[in-house]
Amino acid sequence: MNAPILEAEEIRGGYDGHEVLRGLSLQLKHGDFVGIVGPNGSGKSTLIKALTGLLLLQGGEVRLGGRPLRAYAPRDLARVLAVVPQMIAPSFAFTVREVVEMGRYPHLARFAAPGGDDHRVVEEAMALTDVTHLQHRPVDQLSGGELQRVTIARALAQQPQVMLLDEPTAHLDLGHQMQVLQLLERLNREQSLTVLCISHDLNLAAEYCHRLLLMSVGRIYAEGSPTEVLTVEHLRAVYGALVHVEANPYSGQPMVLLNRVGGEEEAE
Amino acid sequence: MNMPLCRTRAWALLIILTVVLLISMVISAGIGSAHLSPSDVLQAVWDRLRGISDHGMMQVIVWDVRLPRIALALLVGGSLAVAGVVMQSLFHNPMADPYIVGVSSGAGFGAVLAVILGLQNAFLGMNARALTAFVGGVIAIFAVYLLSRRRGRVPVTALLLTGIAVGSLLQAITAFLIMQRSNGVFREVMLWLMGSLANRDWSAVAALAPYAILGVAVAGIWARDLNVLALGDDTAHHLGINLERARFVLLVIASLLAAAAVAVCGIIAFVGLIVPHLMRLLVGPNHRVLLPASVLGGGLLLLWSDVLARTLLPGGEVPISIVTSVVGAPFFLYLLHQRIHRA
C-alpha cells in the first residue's frame, strides 16, 4: 500500500528542442490528493502530458504501479489512469450519456457490446457527478460546469486508480469550482481514488489538496503540506510576487493575499 | 426522451431512409429519354431475374443502361460519404471531405498517370488505374495531414488551406500531363476526370463493389473508435486508443474508398461533406448509426444528382460533379460562415 502508484524520476522533455521539464521527480501514493501549482510556463501541462505518455521523454522514467509507462499498451494504461484535460469546446454533439459511455472504451473488446456491468458503471459515474438528469442532452449545449462534470464522469467510467486533472476549475465560477473540488474530495475519500490536480488557484488548491507540489522552470521547487509550500518566501521566489499568507479562519489552511503595500512580511 | 426511445428513433430513421432509397431507385430507373412507369421498371427487373430475357427495348434500358448507373451512384455516394465521415472524426473537424482535403485530386493524379503511362496490368485484383489512384490518394492525405498538424491537432484553417494547396498542385500537374497527349486522349481523360456516371455498365459496378464494401465494413468495425477519436487526439489517447495505428488504418480506409470511387467515376466533389453533415442533424454523431445513415444518404444524393445530370440538358449529359458542386459549394460556404461566426 505504501509503494508509490505513480512516480516520475528525473524526467526531462519538451517540444522542438526547448526543454520544459528539467529533471523533475515526484511520487504519488495510493489514496493521495496532490495539487500541482506554479506560474505560467513552469511546465504544469507538460508534466501531465509526460505522466500520461503523450510526451516523448528525453530522459528519466515514469512508472505506474511499479511498471514503466512505456510498457503499457494504450488500453491497459487507460484502465488504470484517467485524465481530465483542460476544457475545450466539443466539435460534435454527442449526448452526455454517449460521452460517458466512451469511458468504457478501454474495457471493451472490439466486437463486444457493452454489457450490464458497463451500463451500471456508466450510471454510477453519472450519478456521482450529478449529470444523470442531463444524460440525453447534447454536450455542445452544456454550461462550463456541466461539461466539466461530464468529463469527470467519463474519466470515472474508466474505473481508474489514478485521476489526473489539468486545471479542472479554469473558466468556472466560484460555485462550480467548489462543486468540482468537493466531488474530487469525495471520490478520493470514498473510492480511495488517487488524485493529481493542476491548479492555477493557490487558495483553492490549499483548501482541498493534502499535499502540494510547487513547480518552477520545469522542476519541483517545494513540496509538502499546503502550509509548508505556500510561504511568502517560496511564492516570492517562484512567482516574483509580494504576497501575504494567513490561515483561513475556518479550515486553518493557508490563504494567499496580495500585498500591495509591501514591507509587512519583513516583520514576520 | 429515454434510451430505448433514442435507439428506436435511430432505427426508424434508418428504415425510412432505406425505403426512400428503394422507391427512388424504382422511380429514377424510369426517368430518361424513354419514360417508364414504376410498374414497367419492376416488370422488367422481375422478368430478368426470372431468366426471361426477351432483349426487348424496355429490359435493355432498365437492366443494361439505367440499373448499372443507379448501382454505381449508390456505391460511389456511399463510399464518398463514409470517407467523409471517417476523415471528419479523424481530424475532429466536420469540414473535412475527400475532395476538400485533396485525396480526390491525389487519386485523380494517380489514375491519370496510369492512363498516360498505358499501365494495364492488374495487381492483387486491382486494375492499374485503381491501384495508382489509391496510392495517389494515400500520399495526398498523409501529406495534407502531416503539413496541417500542429501539436497533435488539425486546425480547421490549416486543414482547409493545406488541402486546397495540395489539391491545386496535383490538379495542375495532372492537367499538364494530359495536355501533352493527343486531342482524343485529352478529351477522354478530361471528361472522365470531371466526374460522371455516364456510359458505365455492370463491369464498373463489379470493379468498385469490393472496395466499397470492404471500406464500409472496416469503418463499421471501427465505429466505436471513430466515436472516441472525434473527441480529439489527446482524449482518444487517454481513453486507450492506439493513435498511430488508428490513424494509419482509418486514413488508408478513407483513401481507399475515395480513390476507388475516383478511379471508376472521376472526381465528384462535396458528397463527403454534405451527406455526413445532414445525417448528423438527422441521427446524431454516434458512428454506429451515422455510418449506415451516411451510406444510404450518400446513395440518395448521388442517385438524384445523376438523374439531374442526365436530364438537365436535352440530348446531352452534364458531368455529375457539376451538379454536386452547384449544391455543395454554397453548402460548404454556409457551414464555413457558421463556424467563423460561432468561433
Indicate yes or no: CB of B237 within 8 angstroms of CB of A158.
no
The contacts of residue A242 (CB under 8 Å, 6+ apart) are: A236, A258, A259, A260, A262, A265
Indicate yes or no: CB of A97 within 8 angstroms of CB of B3.
yes
Distance from CA of A41 to the nearest CA of B (A): 17
Q: Does B238 touch chain A (CB under 8 A)?
A: yes
Q: Does A74 touch chain B (CB under 8 A)?
A: yes
Does the pLDDT value for residue A265 go beyond 80?
no
Mean pLDDT, to the nearest integer, of B119-148?
80
- pLDDT, position B118: 76
Does the pLDDT value for residue B122 go beyond 70?
no
How does pLDDT run across B255-286, given as a tens digit for each residue? 999 999 998 888 898 899 999 999 998 999 99
How does pLDDT run across B52-101, given as a tens digit for each residue? 776 678 888 888 889 999 999 999 999 999 999 999 998 888 888 898 88
Indicate yes or no: CB of A77 within 8 angstroms of CB of B224.
no
CA dist B113 and A15 (Å) reads: 40
Q: Does B94 touch chain A (CB under 8 A)?
A: yes
Q: Residue A125's CB: how many other CB atoms inside 10 A?
A: 24
- pLDDT, position B5: 53
Kind and range of the H or E run holding A224:
strand A219-224
The residue of chain B nearest to residue A165, with distances taken between CA atoms, is: B238
Q: What is the DSSP letter of A265?
A: G
Q: Does B231 touch chain A (CB under 8 A)?
A: yes
The contacts of residue B217 (CB under 8 Å, 6+ apart) are: none
Indicate yes or no: CB of B240 within 8 angstroms of CB of A54.
no
Indicate yes or no: CB of B242 within 8 angstroms of CB of A75.
yes
How does pLDDT run across A97-119, given as a tens digit for each residue? 999 999 999 999 888 888 889 99
CA dist A33 and A35 (Å) reads: 7
CA dist A62 and B72 (Å) reads: 54
Does the pLDDT value for residue B154 go beyond 90?
no
Q: From B73, B25, B60, B67, select the one nearest B264 (Cα to Cα).
A: B73
How does pLDDT run across B5-32, given as a tens digit for each residue? 567 888 899 999 999 999 999 999 999 8
Contacts of B284 in chain A (CB under 8 A): 93-95, 138
pLDDT band at A264 (very low <50, low <70, confident <90, very high): low
Q: Which residues pair with A68 in a beta bridge?
A: A63
Distance from CA of A110 to the nearest CA of B (A): 8
Phi first, then psi: give them for residue B180, nearest 5 degrees: -70, -10
- pLDDT, position B152: 62
Q: Does A54 touch chain B (CB under 8 A)?
A: yes
What would the DSSP string read from start to end of B131-146?
HHHHHHHHHHHHHHHH
Does the pLDDT value for residue B324 go beyond 70?
yes
- pLDDT, position B85: 97
Q: Does A150 touch chain B (CB under 8 A)?
A: no
Q: Is the dihedral of CA B191, B197, B201, B202 positive or negative?
A: positive
Indicate yes or no: CB of A74 within 8 angstroms of CB of B242.
yes
Mean pLDDT, to the nearest integer, of B151-179?
84
Q: Which comes out higher in pLDDT, residue B251 or B120?
A: B251
Quote the Cα angle for A151-A153-A158, to 5°.
100
CA dist A23 and B278 (Å) reads: 51
Q: What percent of chain B has pLDDT over 90?
A: 43
Mean pLDDT, to the nearest integer, of A121-150?
93
Q: Which residues pair with A254 in a beta bridge?
A: A247
Q: Does A243 touch chain B (CB under 8 A)?
A: no
pLDDT band at B106 (very low <50, low <70, confident <90, very high): very high
Is residue A17 exposed (0-12), middle (13-18) or buried (19+ Cβ within 10 Å)?
A: exposed
Q: What is the DSSP letter of B151?
A: T
Decide: A245 and A226 in contact? Cβ < 8 Å.
Answer: no
Q: Residue B257's CB: how many other CB atoms inside 10 A?
A: 35
Distance from CA of B285 to the nearest CA of A (A): 6
Size of interface A-B (CB pairs under 8 A): 81
- pLDDT, position A263: 60
Q: What percent of chain B has pLDDT over 70?
A: 93
Helices (H), chain B: 3-30, 38-49, 57-59, 67-90, 103-117, 128-148, 156-179, 183-193, 202-221, 223-229, 233-238, 243-265, 271-283, 287-311, 320-342
- pLDDT, position A268: 43
pLDDT band at A169 (very low <50, low <70, confident <90, very high): confident
pLDDT band at B1 (very low <50, low <70, confident <90, very high): very low
pLDDT band at B2 (very low <50, low <70, confident <90, very high): very low
Q: Which residues pair with A61 in a beta bridge?
A: A9
How does pLDDT run across A56-84, given as a tens digit for each residue? 899 999 999 999 999 999 999 999 999 99
Q: How far is CA A13 from CA A5, A22, A78, A84, in A?
A: 22, 7, 22, 21
Please name the amino acid found at residue B304.
W
Does the pLDDT value for residue B294 go beyond 80?
yes
Mean pLDDT, to the nearest integer, of B207-230?
95
The residue of chain B nearest to residue A85, with distances taken between CA atoms, is: B235
- pLDDT, position B329: 86
The residue of chain B nearest to residue A92, with distances taken between CA atoms, is: B285
Which of A87, A91, A158, A166 is the best mutation test for B, with the most CBs of B within 10 A? Answer: A91
Contacts of B290 in chain A (CB under 8 A): none
C-alpha cell at B166: 495540395
Mean pLDDT, to the nearest integer, of B173-192?
81
Mean pLDDT, to the nearest integer, of B34-62?
84
- pLDDT, position A189: 94
Q: Residue A67's CB: how many other CB atoms inside 10 A?
A: 12
Q: What is the DSSP letter of B122?
A: -
Distance of CA B162 to the CA centre of its chain: 21
